[in-house]
A and B are shown apart, each in its own frame.
Chain A
Amino acid sequence: MIRRPRLRFRSLRTKLGVLYAGLFALALLAIAGVVQVVVEATAHRHTTAELATSGAIFDRLWADRERSLAESAQILASDFGFRSAVASGDRDTIASALASLKTRAHVQAAMVVDLDGAVVGADGPLAAVAAELPFALAPGRRDAVSVADGRAYRFVVSPILAPTEIGWVVFALRLDGAEMRALERLSAIPLTATVLHRRNGRWAAIGGEIPPDASVDALVARAASDRRPATLSLRDGRALAVAKPLAGPSGSAEAAVLIRYPLRLALAQFRPLQIGIGFAGVAGLVLVLLGSGRLALGLTRPIAALDRAARELGEGARTELAVEGEDEIARLAESFNRMSAGIVERERRIAHMTFHDALTGLPNRAALRQAVEQAVARALRAGERAALLCIDLDGLQGVNDTLGHPAGDEMLRRIAASLAELAPDGTVARIGGDEFAILLSGAVSPDRPRQLAQAVLDRLREPIRVEGQLVTTGVGIGVAVAPGDGGDADELLKNADLALHRANADGRSAFRFFEPALDAAARARRELELDLRAALADGQFSLDYQPIVDLGSDRIGGFEALLRWRHPVRGLVSPAEFVPVAEETGLIVAIGEWVMHEACRAAASWPAPVRVAVNVSALQFRHGGLAATITQALAGSGLDPRRLEVEITESVFLDGDGPVAKLLHSLRALGVRVALDDFGTGFSSLSYLRAFPFDKIKIDRSFVIAVARDDGAAAIVNAIVALALALGMDTTAEGVEEVAQLNTLRAQGCGSIQGYLFSRPVGGDQVEALLGRRLARAA
């Protein structure tokens, strides 16, 4: 299979140029071809006609010449004296008469042939031909062409009548160049006439200018029947020719005249036309090349511009094309411009979104970080300061829950506007769901951060009207000032955050400046977190158990499991220290799981019906999987579910009581008891007691401690116990340390107590020893 090579062009310009020039050249070739054919045909026809005319002229000339020669001879032949001389054989007289006749008639020889064939007036080959001629000629003919002495002669015979034929006057006329030139001069076109003679059956010019040639032979052979010209290829080029055979004495031709016209000459008259077409073609080709080049340039320039602009756009540059005209390319340029503008606009929006908060339009955390970076660098360089205020809102969740997210968004926008209004000299950013920040940079007066923080506190303390509702929000502010509180953005942000945590920890609506101690505390907390992970892995946790004494029987009814952490270096670490960290990091879930399993395992070894109470944090509830953990712990230990008591605080209800109640009910369905811990502190609400039918209420130690001395506390405890009794719930008083407290509680009808009065929490190995012990009855 042959693969045809395909032309490939690097540029549209070349492509168009080659295409158009090629097409034009083809058209031109076709025209030139047609013109050439027409020209040749015309030249041929013209020459043919001219040759036919020339042939006719030749015939006429030939006949005229015969007539004039015959007349010349006749004049002599009819002269009485001449006839007398011939009749009497007066050779001298005849010869002299012939000599003068020869001169007069311009012939090469004038002869008299008598009836006996004797010739007077010439001798040699001419005489030999002449002697036989009158007898050889067919009746009616009076001339013949014969070759004598290597030359063609025309013989014209005229009888001498006295009155019968007594002889003939014979003229011999050489058919030489002069004779032919005379013929040529009579033609309208420059003909060439040449005498041919037959030698060895081949026709050739006597002078040798036309050598023997088959085409010439054929032309002469058919000339008698077909007078049309033929094209001959002769030594001096192609020529159109006609042949005139010249009858010899016996009738067959020994000589012929070839009249020819070179095609070169026939075509020469059309040369201006051909040259004109050639020039027009070249001029046209140049015009086509220029035109196609211009057209291609018109096409390719905008396309190249588009190409360039598209590349630039690809590299991120904003480019705009000049739109010229209204054609497709102009529309393409317009589309490109629109596309380019669209891309740039979207890029700008994406960039804006990357660095801005969609809700408030404020810079986001990433933007703030950059701004802080620059501000810190500038502060370091210029000896100025940069202050960062981190602001944490309270109550956003509440607004979202009660009024819906649109209201929360509205509140955020209001606050953002307020902040921007308060800090026209700073950069306000929203760096989290309910976190804002203000960056003050440049010439910041030493007092400005404090003043601004106070202004923010004051402003946000006022209720905000959101969707017709007045909403009060609290706010915490942490302030860090570079370069003192941080040499780079990350440090300044971290320290402002630490200060904020401190402010939050210290209570609502406060601001705190960063202090190095905060940083130390934070570092300690991080270490604690690492240690907690290690503790869980290394089994540093253990459980202590504090007895819960049933006041009805004065015997131990159960134990509360309490988590203990013995750090290999720190020693015993207080739950108050590590539990918040465990809760913050989520480790509390894993720790709680361990506690549940361990407590159930231990309790299973205790005699029934001694129960174990396990604290469950709100985070465990939130995490889900608590029910599964409890089920697995019970199944793993074989503990009767009714001997497991789960202690929860009211904080589990912060996420809404529906799911929590559902979970608690499922635990109850297993047989697990549920106790409400630390009742009376925090956000205690009686509504929780309605939300779920707890098995027990644990009265917080803050009430118990004062119950014997403070009537108010006693009244509260009394009320709680009465409430629990009314709701059918058991009660446990925590932190009972004194007998007086015990007595009061017993008197008020409290169900059980827990506290140092009976026993401190003990290790698992001491539980058995405690079981037999009874509460000493006070007197």
Chain B
Amino acid sequence: MLPRLLLPIACVAAPATASPVAIAVQGLNGAPLAGAVVTLEVPGRAAPAARGTYQVEQRDIRFQPHVTIVPVGATVAFPNRDKVRHHVYSFSKSKKFELKLYGREEARSVTFDKSGPVALGCNIHDAMQGFVFVAATPWAAQADAAGRVRWADVPAGRATLKVWHPTIRAPGNTLSQAVAVGAQGLQTTLTLRR
């Protein structure tokens, strides 16, 4: 059975003005699911245009940062800060690429033109794992240590709330839920359930 999201707290109807949204994510065991990427897709609101450069460093045989949220169309540089060489690849549907062996202070760039999570691996170092989350909405954020995400300016109306985390056993490691953001905003706790 695939995990699904429960919304035990009632939504409050809100005017079309911007409203605050606070989401808390809890894992299967009830603990806050820190690091989960929560997105709220509002119909008619595309992701903002990419501004500047994003980068995911390979430092200390790790991807830094571990999860990088970028808007659709963003170009992400993969500079190698280690002395060893890396072979960064992704088999994710939203972006398949391969940056063949490159050394220290070399940088490669990849443009992510489709939304969705992109799992980053290194063919040399199996333990290295990182994610570039390509968001198609302005409201995409990573849950803090308490599993919380806050937005202040979400327009009221119907929206799709999605939670991604590598440990979620679901296609694309993503669960989605339709929600309505009221004039007073939305405050809810998402709990992963089997």
Q: Identify which of B92, B96, B128, B171 contacts A116 (C-beta below 8 A).
A: B171
Complex Cα–Cα for A165 and B80 (A): 25
Closest to B91 in A: A87
Q: How large is the interface on A (under 10, 10 to 19, 20 to 34, 35 or more residues)?
A: 10 to 19
Q: Which residues of B contact A164 (CB under 8 A)?
A: 119, 129, 166, 173
Check B169–A135 contact: CB distance below 8 A. yes
Chain A: minimal CB distance from B34 (Å): 17
B128 in contact with A163 (CB, 8 Å): yes
Q: Which of B83-133 contact A (CB under 8 A)?
A: 89, 91-92, 96, 119-123, 126, 128-129
Closest partner residue, chain A, to B28 (CB atom): A139
Stretch at the interface among A77-85, A119-127, A176-184, A581-589: A77-85
Q: Looking at the complex, which one of B91, B119, B128 makes contact with A84 (CB distance below 8 Å)? A: B91
Asked if B171 and A115 make an inter-chain contact with CB atoms under 8 angstroms apart, the answer reads yes
Q: Contact at A83–B126, with CB atoms within 8 Å?
A: no
Contact A80 B171 (CB under 8 A): no
CB-CB nearest in chain A for B129: A163
Assembly CA distance A116 to B89 (angstroms): 22
Q: Does A161 contact B (CB under 8 A)?
A: yes
Pairwise interchain contact A163-B171, C-beta atoms closer than 8 A: no
A162 contacts B171, C-beta separation under 8 Å:
no
Residues A83 and B171 in contact, CB atoms below 8 Å apart: no
Question: Whose C-beta in chain A lies nearest to the C-beta of B123?
Answer: A80
Kindly list chain A residues whose C-beta atoms are within 8 Å of the C-beta of B92: 87
| Chain A residues within 8 Å of B119, by CB | 162-164
Verify B121–A162 contact, CB threshold 8 A. Answer: yes
- When distances are taken between beta carbons in the complex, the residues of chain B under 8 Å from A84 are 91
- Cβ of A88 under 8 Å from chain B: yes
- Name the A residues within 8 Å of B91 (CB-CB): 83-84, 86-88, 162, 166
Chain B positions within 8 Å of A116 at CB level: 171
| Bound-state Cα–Cα, A647 to B8, Å | 179
Partner of B96, one of A80, A87, A135: A87
CA distance A472 to B166 in the complex (A): 170
Most buried by A among B91, B123, B126: B91
For residue B120, which residues in chain A have a CB less than 8 angstroms away from its CB?
163
Task: Please tell me if the beta carbons of B173 and A163 are within 8 angstroms of each other in the complex.
Answer: no
Cβ–Cβ < 8 Å partners of A83 in chain B: 91
Q: Please determine whether A161 and B126 come into contact, CB atoms closer than 8 angstroms.
A: yes
Count of B interface residues, CB-CB < 8 Å: 16
Contact with A along B149-169 (1 / 0, CB 8 A): 000000000000000001001
Cα of A115 to Cα of B121 in the assembled complex, Å: 18
Chain A residues positioned under 8 Å from B96 (CB to CB): 87-88
**Considering the chains assembled together, what is the distance between the CA atoms of A162 and B87 in angstroms?**
13
Give Cα A135 to B2, complex, Å: 9
Query: A115 vs B172: C-alpha distance in the bound complex, in angstroms?
Result: 8
Contacts of A78 in B (CB 8 A): 126
B140 to chain A: closest CB distance in Å?
A: 19
Within 8 A of B (CB), among A73-120: 78, 80, 83-84, 86-88, 115-116
| Complex interface: chain B residues within 8 A of A166 (CB) | 91
**A711 → B minimal CB distance (Å):** 192
Q: Type the 1/0 row for A136-167, where 1 means its CB is closer than 8 Å to any CB of B.
A: 00000000000000000000000001111010
| A83 to B87 CA separation, bound complex (whole angstroms) | 15
Q: How far is the CB of B4 from chain A (nearest CB, A)?
A: 14
What residue in chain B is nearest A163 (Cβ atoms)? B121
B residues in contact with A80, CB < 8 Å = 89, 123
Check if B169 sits within 8 Å of A163, measured CB to CB: no
Chain B residue nearest to A135 in the complex (CB)? B169
Bound Cα distance from A733 to B113, whole angstroms: 213
Q: Complex: how many Å from CA A161 to CA B96?
A: 15
**A684 CA to B188 CA, complexed, in Å:** 187
Contacts of B121 in A (CB 8 A): 161-163
Chain B residue at smallest Cβ distance from A84: B91
In the complex, residue of chain B having the shortest beta-carbon distance to the beta carbon of A164: B119
Q: How far is the CB of A241 from chain B (nearest CB, A)?
A: 38
How far, in whole Å, are A78 and B123 apart by their CA atoms in the complex? 9
**Which residues in window 293-313 of A have CB below 8 A to B?**
none
- Alpha-carbon distance A86/B91, docked complex (angstroms): 9
Q: How far is the CA of A613 from the CA of B21 in the complex (A)?
A: 195
Which residues of B138-194 have CB atoms within 8 Å of chain A's CB atoms?
166, 169, 171, 173
Q: Which residues of A contact B171 (CB under 8 A)?
A: 115-116
Which B residue sits closest to A86, measured CB to CB? Answer: B91
Min CB distance B3 to A, Å, is: 11
Which residue of A has the minimal Cβ distance to B90? A162
User: In whole angstroms, how far apart are the Cα atoms of A164 and B120 in the complex?
Assistant: 8
C-alpha gap A574/B164 in the complex (Å): 186
CB distance from B96 to the nearest CB of A (A): 7
* Chain B residues positioned under 8 Å from A135 (CB to CB): 169
Residues in B neighbouring A163, C-beta threshold 8 A:
119-122, 126, 128-129
Interface residues of B in 23-48 (CB under 8 A from A): none
Instruction: Report the separation of the CA atoms of residues A135 and B122 in the bound assembly, to the nearest whole angstrom.
Output: 26
CA distance A162 to B91 in the complex (A): 7
Which 9 A/B pairs are nearest by Cβ-Cβ distance?
A87-B91, A163-B121, A163-B129, A164-B119, A162-B91, A164-B166, A80-B123, A115-B171, A162-B121
Contacts from B to A (Cβ < 8 Å): 89, 91-92, 96, 119-123, 126, 128-129, 166, 169, 171, 173
Contacts A163-B121, A164-B129 known; list 9 others, CB within 8 Å: A86-B91, A87-B96, A88-B91, A116-B171, A161-B121, A162-B119, A162-B121, A163-B129, A164-B119
What are 6 A-B residue pairs whose CB atoms fall within 8 Å in the complex?
A: A80-B123, A84-B91, A86-B91, A88-B91, A162-B119, A164-B119
